[in-house]
Copies of this chain bind each other. A is one copy, B any other.
Amino acid sequence: MENRIYNFNAGPAALPLSVLEEIRDSFLNYSGSGMSVTEISHRSKWFDDIINDAKERIERLLKLDEKFHVLFIQGGASMQFCMIPMNFLSKENVADYVNTGTWSTKAIKEAVILDKKVNIVASSEDRNFTYIPRDIQFSSDSAYVHITSNNTIKGTQWASFPDTGSVPLIADMSSDIMSRSLDMSKFDLIYAGAQKNIGPAGVCMVIIHDDMLELVQENLPSMLDYTTYSSKNSMYNTPPCFAVYTIQLVIKWLEEEVGGLKKMEVINRKKAELLYGVIDSSAFYKGTAEIDSRSLMNVTFRLPNEELEKIFVQEAFENGMGGLKGHRSVGGCRASIYNATTIKAVEALTDFMKTFEKQKG
**Bitwise interface map of A from 207 to 238 toward B, beta carbon under 8 Å scored 1, else 0:** 00000000000011111100000000000111
**CB <8 Å contact, B24 and A200:** no
- In the assembly, what is the distance between CA of A110 and CA of B2, in Å? 48
Counting CB contacts under 8 A, is A114 at the interface? Answer: yes
What is the chain B residue whose CB lies nearest that of A25? B24
- A38 and B223 contacting across the interface, CB-CB below 8 Å: no
Partner-contacting stretch, out of A4-12, A127-135, A283-291, A349-357: A4-12
Q: Contact at B74–A12, with CB atoms within 8 Å?
A: no
* Contact partner, A75, options B2, B27, B74, Cβ 8 Å: B74
A14 to B39 Cα, complex, angstroms? 5
Q: Are A4 and B28 in contact (CB under 8 A)?
A: yes
Contact B28 A240 (CB under 8 A): no
**Chain B residues near A236 (CB-CB < 8 A):** 78
User: Is A76 located at the chain interface by the 8 A CB criterion?
Assistant: yes
Secondary structure of the A side of the interface?
A: loop
17 contacts between A and B (CB under 8 A): A2-B28, A3-B29, A5-B35, A12-B40, A20-B36, A23-B27, A34-B320, A38-B246, A42-B201, A74-B202, A74-B240, A75-B75, A75-B79, A82-B221, A202-B239, A202-B243, A242-B243
- Using a CB–CB cutoff of 8 Å, the interface residues on chain A facing chain B are 2-5, 7, 9-15, 17, 20-21, 23-24, 27-29, 33-36, 38-43, 74-79, 81-82, 86, 109-110, 113-115, 193, 195, 200-203, 219-224, 236-243, 246, 320, 322-323, 328
